[in-house]
């Protein structure tokens, strides 16, 4: 199987379900969250893409089990949803981008996810290894794509926008083939919009087909309660000054009857749909949503910026989808769609509310960025930290044995928290 004839942007939907929360760092027992029901409800509500990684503890296994059910097989054939996963990151301080490990990782992911192929495979947190290692990993993933067909599209993911741009340009220059997709996290938020100002144009010029925005709360930074502190300790990389600026912004929002996280989620989803369209996708924003949810979608088929949202409970999913439908209803006015065709209650009043809410969010966002201040707006922390050393041990480029591999999940894993948790799930929708 050679490179797919159709670009990824032809079919990838603009909302992707993130599964970084399906691990022990954020939930005592991820299996007790009811993940199978959660995934099935997401499919029913029109979310047909799932982002995961071997680095996210048992997330791949949990997602694979949820998708490998009679209900999903009966109503959602494998070619109707996307699985996006990653290779290369093993632990907080251990990376392996060698061809042998990449190949083994793909095989293991297919097994855990119970699928014959992976729609997208990213090189995970690529700023932690050398450009040469990234290039070798991309070439190996493409070799797997062409020879085995277990990978369809290849990309990179990471935090520093300029590093992502440089790597995308290098890969195009050295291989003659652009990346299918690049994922950036915490770089199009209320606090930091570098993905738009510094990244999108360069990535598109490097031929990247899709550019996704993940972690719209900045890994939990933009919450009324501040960054999460749990089993992983106080792991968030934001400096104290930025943390305090965000706390001040949360107080400012609260004084106006708003929650920082509610404004932040809607700001990122709504604005990236438009601003990220050059690196967006054409897949349906609600796919074939169950009619019981009431969305008769009639948006024109135009590219929309792609966002990745993490949830870990059904209640969070419901609230996120209510906001998403309202965002789409406001967008419909821009695209000349029929008012009220997306939100599930009264058509005219919901549409008018969505438009009014969009304007309110713009005004609130301006005020919040003013409170955060010029010192911290668009501030990006170092990744990796100065002096980082990859602790991955290799002998003549041979992968670790199974005993060492089995121990890897116990290592601390600084993955983003839920973007809609109990302390900040989005609720900015009209009452139903």
Rounded distance between C-alpha atoms, residue 300 and residue 281, angstroms: 13
Say whether 56 is catalytic.
yes
DSSP 176-238: S---SEEEEESSSSSS--HIIIIIIHHHHHTT-SEEEEE-TTTTTTSSTT-S--BTTBS----
Question: What is the DSSP code (8-state) at residue 120?
Answer: E
The residues, any chain, with a CB within 8 Å of residue 179's CB and separated by 6 or more, are 138, 154, 155, 156, 168, 171, 172, 206, 207, 208, 209
Kindly write down the DSSP assignment for every residue of 322-376, as one continuous string.
Answer: HHHHHHHHHHHHHTTPPTTSSSSS-HHHHHHHHHHHHHHHHHHHHHHHHHH-TTT
Which long-range contacts (C-beta less than 8 Å, at least 24 apart) are formed by 367-374?
367/252, 367/256, 368/190, 368/249, 368/252, 368/253, 368/260, 368/263, 369/190, 369/191, 371/245, 371/248, 371/249, 371/252, 372/190, 372/191, 372/242, 372/245, 372/246, 372/248, 372/249, 373/245
User: What residues form DSSP beta bridges with 15?
Assistant: 307
Distances (CA, A) of 185 to 13, 18, 213, 384: 18, 12, 6, 14
Catalytic residue among 56, 122, 153, 185: 56
Which of 68, 62, 53 lies closest to 27 in space, CA to CA?
Answer: 62
For 91, other C-beta atoms within 10 Å of its C-beta total: 16
Fill in the DSSP letter of residue 19: -
Measured between alpha carbons, how far is 155 from 67 in angstroms, rounded to an integer? 23
Query: CB neighbours (10 Å) of residue 89?
Result: 28
| Interhelix angle 240-254/260-275, nearest 10 degrees | 100
CA distance linking residue 73 with residue 325, whole number of Å: 26
At 265, list the tokens: 């989620």
CB 423 within 8 A of CB 417: no
Q: Any residues with CB less than 8 A from the CB of 71 and at least 6 apart, and which? A: 40
Active-site residue list: 56
């Amino acid at each position: 199987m050679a490179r797919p004839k159709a670009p990824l942007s032809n079919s990838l939907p603009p909302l992707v379900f993130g599964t970084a929360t399906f691990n022990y760092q954020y939930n005592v027992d991820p299996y007790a969250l009811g993940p199978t029901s959660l995934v099935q409800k997401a499919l029913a509500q029109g979310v047909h893409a799932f982002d995961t990684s071997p680095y996210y503890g048992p997330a791949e296994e949990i997602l694979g089990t949820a998708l490998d059910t009679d209900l999903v097989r009966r109503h959602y054939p494998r070619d109707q949803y996307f699985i996006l996963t990653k290779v290369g990151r093993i632990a907080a301080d251990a990376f392996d981008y060698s061809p042998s490990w990449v190949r083994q990782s793909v095989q293991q992911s297919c097994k855990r996810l119970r699928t014959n192929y992976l729609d997208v495979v990213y090189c995970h947190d690529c700023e932690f290894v050398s450009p040469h290692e990234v290039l070798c990993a991309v070439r190996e993933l493409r070799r797997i794509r062409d020879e085995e067909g277990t990978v369809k599209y290849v990309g990179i993911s990471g935090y520093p926008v300029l590093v992502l741009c440089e790597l995308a340009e290098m890969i195009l220059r050295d291989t003659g083939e652009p990346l299918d997709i690049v994922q950036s996290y915490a770089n199009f938020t209320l606090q930091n919009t570098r993905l738009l100002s510094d990244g999108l144009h360069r990535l598109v010029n490097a031929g990247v087909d899709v550019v996704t925005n993940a972690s719209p709360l900045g890994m939990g930074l933009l919450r009324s309660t501040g960054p999460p502190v749990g089993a992983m300790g106080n792991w968030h990389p934001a400096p104290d000054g930025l943390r305090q600026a965000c706390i001040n912004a949360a107080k400012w929002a609260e004084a106006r009857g708003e929650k920082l996280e509610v404004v932040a989620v809607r700001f990122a989803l709504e604005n990236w749909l438009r601003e990220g369209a050059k690196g967006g996708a054409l897949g349906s924003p609600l796919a074939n949503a169950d009619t019981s949810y009431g969305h008769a979608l009639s948006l024109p088929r135009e590219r929309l910026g792609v966002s990745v949202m993490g949830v870990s409970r059904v209640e969070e999913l419901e609230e996120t989808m209510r906001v998403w439908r309202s965002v789409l209803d406001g967008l419909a006015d821009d695209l000349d769609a029929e008012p009220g065709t997306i939100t599930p209650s009264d058509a005219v009043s919901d549409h008018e509310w969505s438009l009014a809410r969009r304007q309110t969010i713009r005004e609130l966002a301006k005020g919040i960025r003013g409170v955060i201040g010029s010192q911290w707006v668009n501030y990006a922390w170092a990744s990796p930290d100065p002096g980082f050393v990859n602790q991955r041990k290799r002998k003549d480029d041979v992968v670790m044995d199974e005993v060492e591999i089995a121990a890897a999940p116990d290592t601390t894993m600084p993955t983003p928290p839920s973007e809609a948790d109990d302390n900040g799930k989005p609720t900015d929708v009209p009452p139903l």
